[in-house]
Structure formats: structure tokens, C-alpha cells
Amino acid sequence: MIWRQSTVTLPAMRQGFHLITNLLVQDMPPIADIAAGTVHFFIRHTSASLTLNENADPDVRGDLERWCAHHIREREPFYRHTLEGDDDMPAHVAAVMVGPDLTIPISDGRLALGTWQGIYLGEHRRHGGPRQVVITVCGGPRQS
């Protein structure tokens, strides 16, 4: 069994959903020698998230941003965690709704993503800063 792990630091991005598949793949541990396994992506933050969705039409990302803004509002009177700014508690709620991690299969040395699937960073703060993603690879070696 092969185990590998690395941490990728993503640059600061504006609030919204960002296609980051290529940023993660270029710095993740090698998988070409793995016949079958998984890659686990975990974001080390409580106001950002990872998700898998449409990788072709940017309207999907915009629609997700607008949905979150409509349903997860700032300055709700029931929020108590307000010391870090109006966007902080809604960012925590969005991160809970979307989630902190993804597990994607490896098949024959490649991520087994669907044709239209890509990995998104959900940046839920207006100024979230750089984000760290821990990438763990596990799988069985390919036969020579």
C-alpha cells in the first residue's frame, strides 16, 4: 500500500466559488504509480470549503455564490459570534453546509473525475487570505 501526503497553500481569493482542480493537482503527491486508490483533500479552515461540481460553465459558480448570499445572510439577529466581522459567522455556516473535504478515486494513475467535474474552493469570507489544503494519497501500486 502506498501512502503520501502534502499540504498545498492556495493564494488568497475573493469571496465566492473558485475552480482549483489544476492548483491542487500540480502540487499533490504523485499518483501515476497507483492502480487503484483514493485522494483525500481537506481544507484546514472553518470559513472556507471544498466541493465538487461543474467545471465548464462559470455560471454555475456564480449561481452558487448567489444562492449562498441569498440563503446565508449577514447580520442575522440570532448570531452571537460577531467579533470578527459581518461576513464571519455566515462564512462558518456556509463552510458547514458545503463541507471541509473531498475524497476522489484514483483509477489507473489518474483522478477518476467525471468529464464535467472540477474541485472548487468555497471562499466564504471577503478577505479570507491564503488557504491550506492537506492532500493524502492512498492506493495500491500499478503492476510493472
Given a cut of 90, whether residue 143 has pLDDT beyond it is no
What residues pair up with 54 in beta bridges, in sequence order?
A: 117
CATH number at residue 67: 2.60.120.460
Examine the pLDDT at 144 and tell me if it is beyond 80. Answer: no
144's CB contacts (< 8 A; 6+ apart) are: none
Give the C-alpha separation, 17 to 8, whole Å. Answer: 18
Total domain count for the chain?
1
Taking alpha carbons only, the member of 111, 100, 124, 114 closest to residue 41 is 100
Rounded mean pLDDT, 68-82: 95
Mean pLDDT, residues 44-57: 97
Average pLDDT score over residue span 90-107: 97
Distances (CA, A) of 108 to 27, 32, 99, 112: 19, 7, 28, 9
pLDDT score recorded for residue 142: 87
The reported pTM is 0.95
Q: Residue 136 is part of which domain span? A: 2-141
User: Mean pLDDT, to the nearest integer, of 108-130?
Assistant: 97
User: Quick check: 121 and 10 in contact, CB under 8 A?
Assistant: yes
Hey, what's the torsion of the CAs at 52, 56, 62, 68, to 10 degrees? -10
No. of helices (H) and no. of strands (E), the chain: 3, 8
The pLDDT > 90 percentage for the chain reads 97
CA 22 to each of CA 5, 25, 68, 119, 120: distance values in angstroms, whole numbers, following the listed order = 17, 5, 24, 9, 10
pLDDT reported for residue 96: 97
Structure confidence at residue 102 (pLDDT): 98
Amino acid occupying residue 93: V
**What nine digits make up the cell of 125?**
469570507
